[in-house]
Amino acid sequence: MWTILKINKKKINLLEEDLSKKLGKNFKIYNPKIILERYSLNKLVKKETTVLGDYLFCYHEDFKKYETINKLKFCRGLKYFLNGFFEAQKEINDFIKKCKVLENKNGYLSQNIFNLEFDKDYKFITGPFVQKIFKIISFQKKTIDIEMGNLKTRVKKEKFLFNPV
């Protein structure tokens, strides 16, 4: 069963150590990541960041038992378990499967995980158009026609990351 943990990012190694002591080695941690690119002083700077911020997914069979959750509440690096993960197992599984499909060979999300819609505003988070807002005119299988002010162009979906505004 998957659970969602709010963690202290600086102490994630301590959390993994405590979980392995208390649960054994048969737990899984999934924390989807992306590479953000931006220009700083005319240089392209790449930065790895997590999609979920201070949250991550953790899987173990014993998470079905409340005793296990209570036993783990005071692990180093753990702030708390997010409530409601028992009822949201289908949604959690669907999200993790979608993220794993969109990962590239290095394990980073390579495409936009949002459903694209026409006439909605989006903002680039990677590439030469970082922080620029655009609208989608049309999209094909691998490309998107966009409009930024008076500029209309076509970009490849897998090359750039963007978020809804």
- pLDDT at position 141 is 77
The pLDDT tens digits for 82-121 are 888 888 899 999 999 988 888 888 888 876 566 777 778 8
> 126: domain range?
121-159
The average pLDDT across 30-53 equals 83
Determine, yes or no, domain membership for 113: no
For residue 31, the Cα-to-chain-centroid distance in whole angstroms is: 7
Q: How many domains does the chain have?
A: 2
- pLDDT at position 94 is 92
Whether the pLDDT of residue 59 is over 90: the answer is: yes
Give the residues across from 38 on adjacent strands.
Answer: 45
pTM of the model: 0.71
Phi, then psi, of 125 in degrees rounded to 5: -115, -5
pLDDT cut 90: percent of the chain above it: 28
- pLDDT at position 158 is 73
Do both 53 and 134 map to the same domain? no
d(CA 145, CA 139): 6
Do both 35 and 64 map to the same domain? yes
- pLDDT at position 155 is 86
Do both 80 and 132 map to the same domain? no
Give, as one character, the DSSP assignment of residue 103.
Answer: B
Determine, yes or no, domain membership for 89: yes
Structure-model confidence comparison of residues 115 and 151, the more confident one: 151
Structure-model confidence comparison of residues 37 and 147, the more confident one: 147
